[in-house]
Chain A
């Protein structure tokens, strides 16, 4: 048996010079186009639509998507770089809002007809239209198979009734990739359909007020005899569940990266602060208790990041990682729970103040172990695979 490694380096490498150049460019973009305004956008509960256009121009929105629909193909680590550098905005809400296409578009690409792809994908990758994914309902989130919003065929249309909640980008979305019940109970009665905002019977609530992710608008969507053309149905009727499930692997990977970056930013802020903050005649780093705390934070961030990269590499190589990505998400979230908590602790009272980034990171972190599948759902998935 031969063992040949693709990289000339003996250690595992994920990022080439080209990835590093993308990283530098995006850091520059975030520094100039996002950081000066992010405080304002957080308070406003959203950001201007022109930001989508700018992000598209620099290639953020198209990364990883096929060239024929305006995307920029690249291996999975380009997408990792994009998520990591977007997180340098210090606002998970901004990243989730801008990135809502990354959960809305993949089902269209995997299940849609060429006409549907041509119609819905290029405008989103160009930053001209905003796409969102709508699955969760007031009656349930994780239990996708029990969703209750119905779509009943009426001639050339489906008539949709029901509601969706916690929908990222709901108030700004031009269209949503929406899960509806077209058949009987359970997973086999679910379809995915693209619903355009402004369709008759379509309405959106006020923005929901949240603990964190303020820069992301989150709202409820109501369907009251909402009429949607049958040509908007993705794939065959009652086949939507698999499209939803296929999405989860990359969504969970993105959430793992977001958790790692949340922890990393909190750790970096805590390090900077601990070096300069003086108490009882010494800097915070002059005390072993703080040094060790910072070391533990750095160790956890390092271990979680490396694990996530490994899972990403395997997903990139086409190896199913349902178990591992669930583990990566849970581990990364447990790390960001601890590290954001400790970072606030190092800042003391200042860490509880709006003006410090660790305060936002601490709030933004909370959703990561809930969205895209809760910690408990992740554990159920893992248990089914190892028990």
Chain B
């Protein structure tokens, strides 16, 4: 199975304290540590596991600048076979639809049976997967937390739904799936893999390679614009539990039962 996984380089929220910058237009990006978006990493792990079971290849693709190459290389060190960087000044300032349009063009340059995205990105709006599927006119499932390859025409996919419930679907290939965290246990990036991919050339495609006009992508084409970044005002509702650890645990259990958290 030929699998394409769309990945994104995002600020690593476990390594950084995210703060809004002084004029409220963005987060403070100086000294941020970046990493691969967590959901995307689960998607790559799932793709590698599928490849290990049924054969084929895994390609990782990202829209970004040359700094984004590091996440491609990371995922290749993990086990993805190929990486593609989609980089062009014309891509800058794209909204979700613009990013989906760029990815669609990249998908059409290849021959993929399965396209995976993360369910959302740490700094995103959880829209690219669905839009990409619509643009490609392919079937789509969101919040996927289980995949079983039935045959070379169909997959069984589990989806997480409200209230901790689960549904199971059959979906025809080719299709687009957005992957939820917890679908697997992503492997560590081994040193051996890192050494192997250290000098691999990663191809870069720009707007003209993908046949994209400036009116379709980038800031000019963006119809969703961010107006403001701010920290919401603190509301009421937090209750600090007092007492010994045992007392706090007892109170917490009582509260969780009362609010329906424990059945």
A63 vs B190: C-alpha distance in the bound complex, in angstroms? 11
Q: How many angstroms from the CA of A22 to the CA of B191 in the assembled complex?
A: 6
Segment of B70-78, B87-95, B140-148, B154-162 in the binding face:
B70-78
Q: How far is the CB of B223 from chain A (nearest CB, A)?
A: 36
Number of A-B contacts (CB under 8 A): 51
Give residues of chain A (305-324) contacting chain B, Cβ–Cβ below 8 Å. none
- A49: chain B residues at CB < 8 Å are none
| Interface stretch (choices A23-31, A209-217, A249-257) | A23-31
Q: B192–A21 contact, CB under 8 A?
A: no
Contact yes or no, A21 B77, CB < 8 A: yes
B interface residues, tally (CB under 8 Å)? 13
Residues on the A chain within 8 Å of B195, using CB: 18, 72-74, 78
Determine how close the nearest CB of chain B comes to the CB of A362; give it in whole angstroms: 27
A59 at the binding interface (Cβ < 8 Å): yes
Q: Are B191's CB and A60's CB within 8 A?
A: yes
Contact residues, B55-85 vs A (CB, 8 A): 70, 73-74, 77
**Cα-based distance from A25 to B70 in the complex (angstroms):** 12
- A62 beta carbon closer than 8 Å to chain B: yes
Task: Determine whether the beta carbon of B189 is less than 8 Å from that of A21.
Answer: yes
* Cα distance, A72 to B198, chains bound together (Å): 13
**Cβ-based interface call for A17 (8 A):** yes
Q: How far is the CA of A25 from the CA of B77 in the complex (A)?
A: 10
Return the CB mask of B185-205 against A: 1 if under 8 Å, else 0. 000111110110010000000
Verify if B35 is at the interface (C-beta below 8 Å from A): yes
Q: Are B70 and A21 in contact (CB under 8 A)?
A: yes
Which size class do A's interface residues fall under? Answer: 20 to 34
**Complex formed: what's the CA distance from A72 to B192 in Å?**
6
CA distance A63 to B192 in the complex (A): 9
With both chains docked as a complex, state the minimum distance between the C-beta of A232 and any C-beta of chain B, in angstroms.
30
In the complex, A28→B194 CA distance in Å? Answer: 14
**B188 touching A58, Cβ below 8 Å:** yes
Question: What is the distance, in angstroms, from A122's C-beta to the closest C-beta of chain B?
Answer: 14
Nearest-Cβ distance from residue A102 to partner chain B, whole angstroms: 15
Contact A21–B74 (Cβ < 8 Å):
yes
Give the complex CA separation of A380 and B73 in angstroms: 47
B residues in contact with A63, CB < 8 Å: 191
B192 / chain A contacts, CB cutoff of 8 Å:
59, 62, 72
B188 touches A25 (CB 8 A): yes
- Smallest Cβ-Cβ distance to B78: which chain A residue: A25
Task: Assess whether A68 is interfacial by the CB under 8 Å rule.
Answer: no
Give B77 Cβ to nearest chain A Cβ, in Å.
7
A143 at the interface (CB under 8 A from B): no
Main secondary structure of the interface of B (DSSP, over half): helix
**Pair B35/A25 contact, Cβ less than 8 Å:** no
* In the assembled complex, A128 has its CB within 8 A of some CB on chain B: no
In the complex, per-residue mask of A221-254: 1 if CB is within 8 Å of any chain B CB, else 0 = 0000000000000000000000000000000000
Contacts of A25 on B, CB cut-off 8 Å?
77, 188-191, 194
Partner among A16, A18, A24, A58 whose Cβ is within 8 Å of the Cβ of B190: A58
Q: Which residue of chain B is the closest to A21 with respect to CB atoms?
A: B194
Q: Verify if A57 is at the interface (C-beta below 8 Å from B).
A: yes
Residues of chain A in range 47-74 having any CB-CB distance to chain B below 8 Å: 57-60, 62-63, 72-74
Please, which residues of chain B bring their CB within 8 A of the CB of A58? 188-191
Residues of A within 8 A of B191 (CB): 22, 25-26, 58-60, 62-63, 72, 74, 78, 82
Tell me the smallest distance from the CB of A316 to a CB of chain B, in Å: 16
Q: Collect the chain B residues with CB atoms within 8 Å of residue A29's CB.
A: 188
Within the complex, what minimum Cβ distance (angstroms) separates A284 from chain B?
Answer: 20
Nearest-neighbour CB distance to chain B for A382, whole angstroms, equals 34
Bound complex: CA of A17 vs CA of B34, how far in Å?
Answer: 13
Please provide the chain A residues from 74 to 110 with a CB less than 8 Å away from any CB of chain B in the complex.
74, 78, 82
B262 to chain A, nearest CB (A): 25
- Bound: A25/B198 CA distance, A: 14
B residues 24-66 near A (Cβ < 8 Å) are 35
Report chain A residues within 8 Å CB of B73: 17, 21
Report how far A58 CA is from B188 CA in the complex, Å: 7
Closest beta carbon of chain B to A35's beta carbon, Å = 12
A252-278 CB contact bits vs B (8 Å, 1 = yes)?
A: 000000000000000000000000000
Binary contact readout A10-41 vs B (1 if CB under 8 angstroms, 0 otherwise)? 00000011100110111011000000000000
Docked complex Cα distance between A289 and B73 (Å): 46
Cα A18 to Cα B73 with chains together (Å):
9
In the bound complex, do residue A57 and residue B194 qualify as a contact, i.e. CB atoms below 8 Å apart? no
B198 and A28 within 8 A (CB): no
B 190-236 contacts with A by CB, 8 A: 190-192, 194-195, 198
Collect the chain B residues with CB atoms within 8 Å of residue A82's CB.
191
Q: Which residues of B contact A24 (CB under 8 A)?
A: 35, 74, 189
Q: How far is the CA of A57 from the CA of B74 in the complex (A)?
A: 16
In the assembled complex, how far is the CB of residue A29 from the closest CB belonging to chain B, in whole angstroms? 5
Chain A residues with CB under 8 A of B198: 16-18
The docked-state distance in angstroms from the alpha carbon of A61 to that of B2 is 34
**Would you list 12 pairs from A and B whose C-beta atoms are within 8 A, ordered by A residue?**
A18-B195, A21-B77, A21-B189, A22-B194, A24-B35, A25-B188, A25-B189, A28-B188, A58-B189, A58-B191, A62-B191, A72-B192
Name A residues whose Cβ lies closer than 8 Å to a Cβ of B: 16-18, 21-22, 24-26, 28-29, 57-60, 62-63, 72-74, 78, 82
Nearest 9 interchain pairs by C-beta = A59-B191, A25-B189, A18-B198, A59-B190, A58-B188, A21-B194, A59-B192, A72-B192, A58-B190
